[in-house]
Structure formats: C-alpha cells, structure tokens
Structure 1
C-alpha cells in the first residue's frame, strides 16, 4: 500500500510548490521581507547563511536528503541552537531540551512547513488553525481523547487485537508476514471504531475506507512528482471517492446518534462544533491521517525491534503471564503494571526517531534562549530527532535498550528529553493516549501467543519524513508459544 504524501522526503516532493508559493505570497516589502532585517537587530544565532534570496536554504535541505536529515547536519555543525532560512522565512532550530523549555507556552504552528498536506486535508482544519480559534477547537476536540474516555476504548482494542491474533494463527508456519499489513489493519480498525462509530464494527467498511485513502495518497504523490493534467485529474478523482466515503460515515452517525452522553465519540464533537461541511470533512481527514500513521509505524518499529531479540520477547512474555496469569484479559486495569512493555514502546519511539520534528511560531513576545534573542514572529523548530539521538543524553543512541526508561534512568535526564508527542502550548499530539493504549493491548495480546522472528536478520534503515518509516518492508515469521 502507498504511504501518505507527508512521508515522502520533504524537499523532493514539495520544492516546486514552495517556490510558487514564495513568488505569490512574499513580494518585496511584505511582512515576509521583515525576516531580512532580523539578523541585523539580534545577537546572531549561529547557522546557515541562505544560498538564495528567494529560496533560502531549500537547496541545502534537498542535498541533505530531506528536512529531518538537514536538522541533524545543521545541529552537528552549529550546536544545539542553530538558524536557517526556509525560503524567505528565518527559522531557529532548537536541538536540546534545555532550549525547548523556553518555548513551552507557544501554540501557533508555522503552517508553511506543513503545506504539503493541504491538497489532501483542505484548508479548514486543526492542522492549520492557530490563535484563539485553534485553542478553542483543541479544547473541544480533546474531550474524547482524555484519560477517562480512553478507558472505555479498551474493550474494542482487545476485540480487534484478538481478531488479529486469529488471523495470524491461521497463517501456515514459515510464511512471511508483512508487519505493516497487520499493524495497519489493527490501527485502522481501532482508531476508526472509537473515533467515528459503530459503522466500523464491520471490518469490510474499514478496509473500503482505508483503501480509498491509500489510493488518494498515492495519487497525490504522483501529482507532486509528475505534475501534469493527467495526474492532477487522477488525484481529484481519487480524493472525491475518499471524501464521499467520509461523507457516508458522517451521514450514518447523524442518522444514528449516541443514546447517552457517555457514548459520545470524536465524530459527535465534530458534528456539534464544525461550522460547515468543508470544515467537518477537513477535521475528519486530518485526524484520521494523524491517528493512523504514527501509531501504525510505532507498532511496525516495536515488532521489528523485538523480533531481533528473543530475550526481549521472553521478558515481555514473562511480564504478561506474571501479571495476567492464565485467565485475566488485557484491560485498562493492568496498563500501569506492564512496565517493561511500556518501556519497549518508548524505546521504539526514540530509537526509530518516529517523529523527527515539531514546529511553532514565536507569536508571544521576544524570548531569550541561552544568550540569543528569538524575536516575535520567528519560526521555531523543535528538533526532536536530534535530541532523541543525542549521545550525551542517550549513550550509544542507535542501540535499542528499553531499560533507558527505568525510573532511575529517567530521573537523570531533563524532563523534556523524551518528548515524542510534542509538549508546547497544549498542542501535543491529541491522540498520544490512544497510541499507547493501542500499542500495549496489541503487544500484550500477540506476545502472549506468538514468538516473532525476522525473515532477514539485518538492520533496517530509517526513511525519514513527517513520520519515520522503515526503509523497506519488514517481514516476520511467527511461532506459536506453548500457553501456560
């Protein structure tokens, strides 16, 4: 299946779009031109001089292989606080948790860094909504993702995880199994059911909606790589089919509203809050995209790492069987007890560099970071991948070691050193509790029943994008465990 367009290397995909955007939106004398004076008034933040007046360091980003790789090279050369130019826009990238703490109140995003997703998700959605309107939306939208709400979802996660286990049990011994195929099915079913309703109790509806989503993503990739009338029309046609499927989901929920308050889900919040069909469609699209990709590839990476290490799988199995025994089911009540399993998930997030960066705009006031002043209006990048691979924080950072997250080890680090879901301005990923819950339930369910072995026991490289993917398909074989 095709992966979402945001996962393709930044510069390769969006360069032509950005050049046109700069031309039409940043004329001389406009607010964009203010960036030209920034360095004249501030203590100079070390960093790259722009190669071109219009394009800034976009060529450097391209040569690095993409935006996440560029951040690694930028901070390696210039240190934890470094500057660059994204077109005409001046940015400061922060590659240390000590620097991040100064930005903890920032809410607004620099939307130009996320322009690549606009053709798919539209203009009116939480991805691009800043200021008081954005804060108000987040306050409303976060309700079905809070701690108490997530507790209700475990029964669905458990049922879906058991279904996945049943499918794996039916596969002949020695057959190669695509981790992405099964992780994708699990996450799609889980997220769609708890967020968009009982229509997705039927797996066929999940498969249909997701297949149209993947088709639209592939058409978008083709449109950007090979811009012409044909690829533009193909994308529009595929997007229309996917949007029509979403509208069917919305109509079903309107005709089958919840019977009581406790059964309200994310889609019910949207039906109450969204001011137009375009707004409603955009919010569904952006939340599904975010809810699917990060968790799917978190699980792919987690199973990849444990498939390399049978001792690690045995530790997970011992913890599960010790806590659950022979009869107890995986539920919310045992989440806090599965300490080793949660450490595995955290280390999978860190070691895979799952979320390489986040970004904000300093729309509050001039701020002091170390000896530098970051002026109001400046874009700020949180170089999460740089911090998660910092050998001074994480010795031997390429080594997968869940014990990095033992309480005594965590206590030695800055509290922001592990910030995979963001932290600033109450705008961290709204679904982070869902991601952990989905991950714990599936790992506990499958590791209780199976041993996983890599088909080719070799290191898989990272393919950086907005979410970091394995550089190639990861295949495993399974071996049924003898049940205690």
Structure 2
C-alpha cells in the first residue's frame, strides 16, 4: 500500500506540472494571436498609452501636425514611431489613434463622433447635419435616411447613372484621336450630374449652373482641406464668395424639388425624405450639403484613381474589358444586378480605394464609459482616430502596399485577412458611410462602360502624388488618351 501511495503522489505531481506548462503555453499563444498587450492574461489597463506629449498648452500637437505636412502624414509618422495605438493632442483635446484591425475590433461598438476634429468643415456643410449628431438623435436620422441607400433603392436608380455613363462615353468618342482627356474633370462631371439627379431629383436645365455648382464647391473644399491640420487657418474673400454661391445653388435644388414633387410614393428620393423630416430650413440645407459633399468626393476620386492605375497597365484594362464582354455581353437588359456580377471590376475599385488611401481616417468618441483597446484603457471623453490609411498601407497586411494589384481582393486572399483589414467606409457603431452602395453602383457602371468601349493610355505627369485631405486626391490633373476598341 505504501508503494501505491508513493506512485499516486508522483502521478499527481507530474500531472500538475504538465497542466501548468500547458496553461502557460496557452496563455502565451492566446496573447500573441489576439494582438493585445497583456500580462499573465490580464489587461494592462493601468499602462499609459504610448504617444506624444503636448508641444503647446493650448495647441497641443497642432504644430507637429503642420510640421509633418498635414494630418494624415502626421498619423503615418505617429504610428511608425509608437505602434498600433498612439496618443496625441488635437488642441486641448486628448486623442488616441488606432492602426490595426485588432484595435478596431475592440472599438467596434463606438457610435458617436467627436465634434472638434470635424470643426473645420462647418463653414462648408453647417452644424445641424448628421455629421455632428450623436446618440439617439443620430440613430433616428440614420434609420430614416438609410432607406434611400439600400440595395433596392440603389437598383432603382440604375437607369439614370447608365444614361450619364453613356453620355460620358459619347463625349469621349467625339474627341479627335489622341486628344488629352482630363480625368478629374471628366469624373467630376459624371458624378455631379448623376448624384444630383439620383439623390436630389434635380436636373438643372442651365448647364452654366452645373458648372458653377461644381467650380464653387471645389474652391471651398480645397480651402477647407488645408484646415484639417491647421484649424486656425483663416479663409479669404474668394472662399466666402464661392461658399455663398454654392449654398445658394443647393438651395435652388431644394426649391426645384419642392416645385416638382414626385408623382407617386415610389418615386420619392432622399431629398423628399429630408424635406418631410427636417425640423427647419437650416437643418435641411445642412443635410443636403453634407450628403452631396460626401457622395461627390468619395465617388469622383474613386473613379479618378481607378482610371489613373488602369491607364498605366493595359493588361489590367483588358481584364476589365473581357469580363464586361463575358458577363454583360450576354445580357439583353443590363441593370444593377447584372453589373453586380462584375467581380474583377469590383476588385479594381477596392484596390483603387486601398492603394490611393482614398479614405484616410475617421473618428469616434465615447462619452459614457471607458473602453479597453489592446489592453489599454481609453477614458471616456477621449477622441479616437481610426487610422484607415495606415492600415491600408500596412506591409504586414498588404505586401508591397504601393503596388496596384486587384487580385488582393480575390475571395481566397480576403479570407486570409482580418475581417476589418479593409474598412474604407468605416466600421464602428454601425455608422459606416451611408452612401457606399450608391458609390460602388455608379462607379462600376462608368468603369465598365468606358473599359468596354475604349483603351486608355496615361500621358500625365510621372510625379503625381497623394494629396491627403477629407479624401485623398491626386496632386495634379490626371491625363489620358482614349482609343476606341473594336466592337
């Protein structure tokens, strides 16, 4: 019996040691897989978030932002130095920037947006729109407005943007052989016409008004882009004049719709919902302005960058062309659902968004409670930047990130990445860009229409750089030539 007792004691000791070893290894692997900064499996909530100290008591790190060349370049530099989670001061407000899908996952429930980071845009879009709404008010508005941008609504608009795409193609066809085409100008025309008709129901019989609407909007946006990293920058009289003209023209769009209401409930569009639901004229105009500017900028420059990249690689262009012929050539009645079958075309758009860093950042704030991210505590009231551009250029996620490769978005490649690795329209709090479906739908129609009929060759500057702002623009006009394809 004594031998049995000794044997059992030895077994117990061995099993205990084995259990401790396995437990230790599990904790180590779990910490590594989750990407969180952890000690013995417990969150380091007492650890200070790495980052920058205030350079100036009132301005915080605004001078550092200007020294870096703007807000987005500053964010790139911040994360290169401090890692996936880093802090800074935007004026007197403390911010934390997150630059990994794992960090974003920890912050995915945040809904509200900080006011001060977007303060620069108030002269352009007003302060009574959904951009500056939070809490239950913002949720109520999103539920009301989003109806106009669901799949069924976007599909209903297809005929309109197909007509606009055909008109662009006809304009290009009429040009002399070898004529240089200004891509930004071309895409701006398409998007401004398509969005006004689809979203606001306005057509503007006078083309001079269309040109004025576009030109004055671009003037004001160019000035405001400079204020992201320098909120104290003063605007000039040119800006004030352009802003007034643009606002007056947008008021004309609202009045036009009031004078020409839809004939049936099914014909109601987004502007009709705004007219019926906004509390006053100030809020109505402000909502019109924010949705127009958001939709115009994102879609226009998605298309500009797509043609910029494709025009430098005929092999990729041919793939788009061949897919259009194979998929759409069999369809006697092309509609939204047939264009949705263009998998390669969609991959081209996604890679254009990623490679251009089209959407550099978004931001959230939690007013009610602290949040834990990567094992660190972010106190309530702190602003949080979601550094979309940093993640979309992360070489650990996207090898050779500057190289344009639509096959990064093949299903088998997507399956290898974190589900949030590509989040150009935001992700947090179910508050992603409301018009992203419409943006994709209009873009794929124009891209397919142009690549079906033409071969494009890049003839612009070799020194086109990314100009960061609310969205990322080419630093100069993109120039191409078009050669008709054999039908």
- Normalising by structure 2, we get a TM-score of 0.86
- Of 363, 369, 387, the match for 1:359: 363
Alignment of 1:99 onto 2:128: no
Secondary structure at the counterpart of residue 337 of structure 1: coil
2:137 maps to 133
Alpha-carbon distance in 2 for matches of 1:219, 1:381? 23
Contact 2:359 2:470 in 1 (8 A): yes
Unpaired segments of 5 or more residues in structure 1? 1-40
2:441 maps to 437
The structure number with the bigger radius of gyration is: 2
Alignment of 1:268 onto 2:243: no
Secondary structure at the counterpart of residue 199 of structure 1: coil
Alpha-carbon distance in 1 for matches of 2:216, 2:110? 36
- Of 391, 404, 410, the match for 1:406: 410
Secondary structure at the counterpart of residue 422 of structure 1: coil
Cα-to-partner distance string for 1:331-365 (whole Å, 9 max, x where unaligned): 21213321111000000000000011000002242
Alpha-carbon distance in 2 for matches of 1:225, 1:380? 21
- Of 362, 387, 397, the match for 1:393: 397
1:27 maps to none
Secondary structure at the counterpart of residue 358 of structure 2: coil
Alpha-carbon distance in 2 for matches of 1:454, 1:146? 36
Alignment of 1:169 onto 2:173: yes
Alpha-carbon distance in 2 for matches of 1:127, 1:325? 42
Contact 1:189 1:203 in 2 (8 A): no
The size of the alignment, in residue pairs, is: 440
2:190 maps to 186
Alpha-carbon distance in 2 for matches of 1:434, 1:105? 25
The offset of 1:182, in angstroms, is 0.5
Alignment of 1:321 onto 2:325: yes
Alpha-carbon distance in 2 for matches of 1:273, 1:99? 37
The offset of 1:216, in angstroms, is 4.6
The offset of 1:222, in angstroms, is 10
Alpha-carbon distance in 2 for matches of 1:110, 1:457? 38
Alpha-carbon distance in 2 for matches of 1:459, 1:399? 16
**Structure 1 residues 236 and 69, CA gap change in structure 2 (3 angstroms):** closer
- Normalising by structure 1, we get a TM-score of 0.87
Cα-to-partner distance string for 1:82-122 (whole Å, 9 max, x where unaligned): 11111111111100000001211211111111111111211
Alpha-carbon distance in 1 for matches of 2:403, 2:239? 41
2:377 maps to 373
Alignment of 1:258-337 (within 5 A): 258-325=262-329, 328=332, 330-337=334-341
The offset of 1:317, in angstroms, is 0.7
- Of 178, 196, 200, the match for 1:196: 200
Alpha-carbon distance in 2 for matches of 1:346, 1:384? 14
Alpha-carbon distance in 2 for matches of 1:275, 1:225? 31
Alignment of 1:251 onto 2:255: yes
Alignment of 1:450 onto 2:446: no
1:341 maps to 345
The offset of 1:214, in angstroms, is 3.4
Contact 1:54 1:88 in 2 (8 A): yes
The offset of 1:286, in angstroms, is 1.1
**Structure 1 residues 301 and 445, CA gap change in structure 2 (3 angstroms):** same
Secondary structure at the counterpart of residue 307 of structure 2: helix
**Structure 1 residues 453 and 123, CA gap change in structure 2 (3 angstroms):** same
The offset of 1:329, in angstroms, is 5.3
2:217 maps to 213
Cα-to-partner distance string for 1:372-394 (whole Å, 9 max, x where unaligned): 11111111000000000001100
**Structure 1 residues 458 and 239, CA gap change in structure 2 (3 angstroms):** closer
My pick for the range that moved more, 162-171 or 205-214, is 205-214
2:29 maps to none
2:58 maps to 54
Alpha-carbon distance in 2 for matches of 1:328, 1:263? 25
Secondary structure at the counterpart of residue 142 of structure 1: helix
Alignment of 1:422 onto 2:426: yes
- Of 140, 143, 150, the match for 1:146: 150
Alpha-carbon distance in 1 for matches of 2:478, 2:436? 24
CA RMSD of aligned residues (A): 2.1
**Structure 1 residues 429 and 218, CA gap change in structure 2 (3 angstroms):** closer
**Structure 1 residues 49 and 340, CA gap change in structure 2 (3 angstroms):** same
Secondary structure at the counterpart of residue 372 of structure 2: strand
Secondary structure at the counterpart of residue 49 of structure 2: coil
Alpha-carbon distance in 2 for matches of 1:218, 1:388? 24
Secondary structure at the counterpart of residue 93 of structure 1: strand
**Structure 1 residues 330 and 184, CA gap change in structure 2 (3 angstroms):** farther
